[in-house]
Structures are given as structure tokens and as C-alpha cells.
Chain A
Amino acid sequence: EEQLVESGGGLVQSGGSLRLSCAASGFTFSSYWMHWVRQAPGKGLVWVSRINSNGNSMNYADSVKGRFTISRDNAKNTLYLQMNSLRAEDTAVYYCAREPAAYYTMDVWGQGTTVTVSS
């Protein structure tokens, strides 16, 4: 079964840092581009970041550019999101998702991990 499992969420003070992980299983992780998407409480989905299959090309939403860093370890089948200078507005459930070739879509999603930034 193709699966993504996020971890690393928690409560952090404003200005602090957190690193999220997303462990992939059941598919060839190194063949897929990957995304992070977040959802603030009671709000809609917001795209955060995307990384190509070999980890040398990344894109970010303007709201996190310069503060968040996406990376991956294909040997460990794991995607990461390093979040620095956290703000209250970064409070959300963070999902990792897989992008199948050629469609710019997200076909497999994790269950999400919750990040709460206290001010």
C-alpha cells in the first residue's frame, strides 16, 4: 500500500523552529516530486512547497519563502520541511503529498501533522 506518514509537529513559540518529516512506503519514493500543503484551523488548503525527485529543485509559496526549507533523503524514503522563524499564522495541519508524473497534481496524501505556534 502506498503510504505517507508525517511526524514532527507540536507546540512551538513564535520565532522558534520545527522540522517535519514525511516517511514514504509502498512506492519508489525517488521517482516522485513531493509537496507540502497546510490547512489552518477551519480554513482551506494552501500549498507550501514542492521538491523535484532528486532534490535539486525547490519552489515555495511567498508566505514561507526564506523561512521554510524543503528537502528529501531518497535513501531514507523521507521528505522534510525545516520551518524557522515561525509565526502564529503558520499554525496549521501540515500534509505531505505525492505528485505523479506530468500532471502537477497530488495523488497520495499523508494524514497530516499539527503545528501550533504560540505568540
Chain B
Amino acid sequence: QSVLTQPPSVSGAPGQRVTISCTGSSSNIGANYDVHWYQQLPGTAPKLLIYGNSNRPSGVPDRFSGSKSGTSASLAITGLQAEDEADYYCQSHDSSLSGSVFGGGTKLTVL
């Protein structure tokens, strides 16, 4: 059971918009620690997608955006493409654990 809670799966048709939620608690997201998002394509290492709640590293398309409010965060993907089919993970820091915590991951299926 992960400290951060994500839906196991989401799906959408090409061109549509999907969102993935990430719910934490007062010792991580609610303690004002940033939320970060990673994309993991099948058989590859994770790739940083969003950092500091809403910032995109160089090279990440602006179809990907992040937001945070209270003890939750969200990743939005607009204009879905087949290549977006992957697992997505949120991550934050937890003060009570003195370490990083991940969500359980969300599998995105492009229909």
C-alpha cells in the first residue's frame, strides 16, 4: 500500500484529455512538499515529466501539466497520443518517513 494514492488505471481516446490524481496527507503533500510526476514506458526507466508541482523539464511537451492543492495533486494530459500509453507515478517527500514516497502508479491506456 503506497503512501500516495493514485487510480490504478485511466483511459482516453486519441486527442482527448485525461487527468490522474495523487492524494497524500499532512506529512507529505499537505506539508507543502512539492509533487513530481514520472512517466515510465514499458521496459524502460522512469523519466521526470513534471517537477515542483507544475514545471516541465526541457523537452517535455506542453500537453503535460501539473497542479497541486491541499493534500492532492493532479497530472493532466491533453491531446492524447498513442505514445503517451505508459505508467505514471507521482512522488513527494514525507517528513515523518524522512524520505521520498511514490504513488502506486497509474496505467494510461490510449483507446
Contact = CB atoms under 8 A, between A and B. Distances in A.
A95 B45 contact: yes
Interface in A29-88: 35, 37, 44-47, 49-50, 59-62
A106 interface: yes
Nearest to A62: B97
Given A45-B46, A104-B34, A112-B45, A59 B99 contact: yes
Contacts of A59: 98-99
Q: Is the interface of B mostly helix, strand, loop or mixed?
A: strand
The range of chain A's interface size is 20 to 34
Contacts of A112: 45
Most buried by A among B2, B33, B99, B105: B99
Interface of B: 2, 33-34, 36, 38, 40, 44-48, 51-52, 57, 87, 89, 91-93, 97-105
